[in-house]
Amino acid sequence: MDLKEKVMKRVRAHYKKMYDNFGNKLVGVFLIGSQNYELDVETSDVDTIAVVLPSISEITFLSPPYSTTIVLENGEHIVIKDLRLVRHELHKGSPNMLEILFTDYYVLNPNWWEFSKLIAYRERIAKISPNGVANAWIGIARRHIKKYREDIENFDIKDAITILRTAEFIKLYYYGSATYKEALVPSYAGALRAARRNHSDVKLLFYNVDLAIETIENFDKNRIKEISLDYCVTLDNVVLELITDSFKRGCYNESKSIFL
């Protein structure tokens, strides 16, 4: 079994665990993390986001959308998100949430095939909030840049890779002609993956990190183009369709308690 098959096996296991708990309220389970950037190694965790439908009572009584994270015995994480929160975070341009539309590793509940429309329109959805996407990517990188400048002793290879791939994303997506999907994978992903696998001295990357920080801090947001509101309508229509259909089919019973 190769590395990709092992990852997909774990994603299916996450799906089964979530389906056993939520039944047909589960829309699907989607991989997030280094595998989506082709930066994973044999020891990389398999973490996922599980998207669940809200119940009638949750909507009727204005209950806060469900959101929690569970940690499995092997250290893997499953982030469970109400579909309404997924919609909200996609509108804001959250990179973590956008990943569920771009990953090649997911299991979709066949009852909710409508969600595949979001995957089909993922490049448009990534452009709903272009400023939000840019701010989120740069905001994540800045935390690691601060560590590089103020806590260099604890700055590790993962910190360096986050800064480097953020700069590469900016170059490919905003200065180049890459799609969002293409820009997720650094052009030198193989070299970064080898650095992780070989536990390379992070100091060997300091020169490249300095250049990457310069790219990030000098990013010209005037390059961001305004996007048609039609992209928002596409997202909202699919979310509305999913929730409406779940009520029509009677798939709205309250989920079991989530003591996993």
Sign of the C-alpha dihedral computed for residues 114, 115, 121 and 126 taken in this order = positive
* Domain 3-121+231-248 annotated CATH 3.30.460: yes
pLDDT digits (tens, 9 = 90+) for 21-56: 999 999 999 999 999 999 988 888 999 999 999 988
Q: What is the pTM of this model?
A: 0.91
pLDDT digits (tens, 9 = 90+) for 187-213: 989 999 888 888 778 888 899 999 999
Give the start-to-end residue ranges of the domains of the chain: 3-121+231-248, 130-223
What number of CA atoms fall less than 13 Å from residue 242's CA on the CB side? 32
What is the average pLDDT across 168-182? Answer: 94
